[in-house]
Structure 1
């Protein structure tokens, strides 16, 4: 991916940070968005230590203007955009009757509207070999229990968006795919956390994923070997949906 430019939303930690570093190791210049800046600065330092350019941009994916405007800022800084990784996400879990309108608006703003607007803004800049890769969730394929209605709704919407983007942009040589992580060891959902044992029991391999394992699938889809792969869903879930 030498000479390519990638934007990873929500790239300051977890799967986003692992993806930014993996794409940098593949030779891409990488920009990440963040809400809290300290972790993002560390990611950029790690990216630049690999000999490529890094950039951290404060942008809130729930903000209708910022979600799309960040793409233009990356193009202004790096001169191009080749890969968009829609990673930023929000999760609110709880009984259906406990979810407030504010909860609904926030989750849909980040997980659906923000992804749509970033993809819309990126599309004019993506030429042949361009990639849109969205991070979905294993809960869009299998909801193992109550409490996930809002989150599963938001992530399931991304499947339709991905397939539509694949059709709309395919004639220009741009692909769009979605990756569904299962339980993944991150700050938000640690493998030694209070809810980990139940999640592990739902997988076939009996463990959490490392963030790098999800990032490796993103890197494959971002690369030239995946040029004929589009409109597809990829489960990196340890058999959660098996």
Structure 2
């Protein structure tokens, strides 16, 4: 048995990874390609061209504004037109806005919820409709957060959206398992990405966070990629509705 035919091989599969211009999304896209998948990499606020170029012929770059209610369908249709199908959907795109809850504007609230939660539902629905029509198995992996479990500070919309991602994951898993579609989520811990730059630059908060993490370090985007490959592979065929924390031990502390 070759590595591509192993439990974790993804040869012959087409994956769509949102928010893949950098950080966790780019790391996941690279890992899926290394496992054999063709990969559609999406850029929201910035293009994912560099990610696609680094992967090579197995990848193509797409742009769509997921803060718009029309963005998810535009993205899915473009990917479908290029690759003919989507077997693996990784809903990674996300944004964060920090402000005191009493000052948080409804405009900022709605934008965060659209990108982090509503677009996840829209893309999952589009992928599932096609998979069900084709009677094909599929995998949907949503990127949740430690704030799917905790409230956070000055990020009410982010916490609400990521709590919603965890519950949406379970709800969709319940409905689509009968169709051979597994829906799971990864809850990253404190990962060194652009979203956490403000925390890492705050000497006090950085120290407090590191003191709480048993692993003693910030996670790297590549720390999430292996779990994503597992959840996209046949090795996880009997796992659905799960939210897997990849957090260096934070939640167990």
What's the secondary structure of 2:39's corresponding residue? strand
CA displacement at 1:59 relative to structure 2: 0.5
* Distance in 2 between residues matched to 1:231 and 1:16, nearest whole Å: 21
Task: Confirm or deny: 8 A CA contact 2:148 2:162 kept in the other structure.
Answer: yes
1:130 aligns with 2:168: no
CA displacement at 1:93 relative to structure 2: 2.1
* Distance in 2 between residues matched to 1:159 and 1:169, nearest whole Å: 16
* Distance in 2 between residues matched to 1:56 and 1:146, nearest whole Å: 35
1:234 aligns with 2:239: no
Between Structure 1 and Structure 2, how many residues are aligned? 237
- TM-score with structure 1 setting the length: 0.92
* Alignment match, 1:57: 62
Aligned pairs (5 A) from 1:141-220? 141-143=149-151, 145-190=152-197, 192-194=200-202, 195-220=205-230
Q: Deviations over 1:23-82 (max 9, x none)?
A: 0000100011113445x111001111xxx5211111111111111231121111011110
Alignment match of 2:53 (pick from 38, 45, 54): 45
What's the secondary structure of 1:85's corresponding residue? strand
Identify unmatched segments of 5+ residues in structure 2: 1-9
- TM-score with structure 2 setting the length: 0.89
Task: Confirm or deny: 8 A CA contact 2:95 2:195 kept in the other structure.
Answer: no
What's the secondary structure of 1:63's corresponding residue? coil
* Distance in 2 between residues matched to 1:8 and 1:80, nearest whole Å: 13
* Alignment match, 1:15: 24
In the TM superposition, structure 1's runs of 4+ consecutive aligned residues that sit over 6 Å from their partners are none
Identify unmatched segments of 5+ residues in structure 1: none
Task: Confirm or deny: 8 A CA contact 1:142 1:241 kept in the other structure.
Answer: no
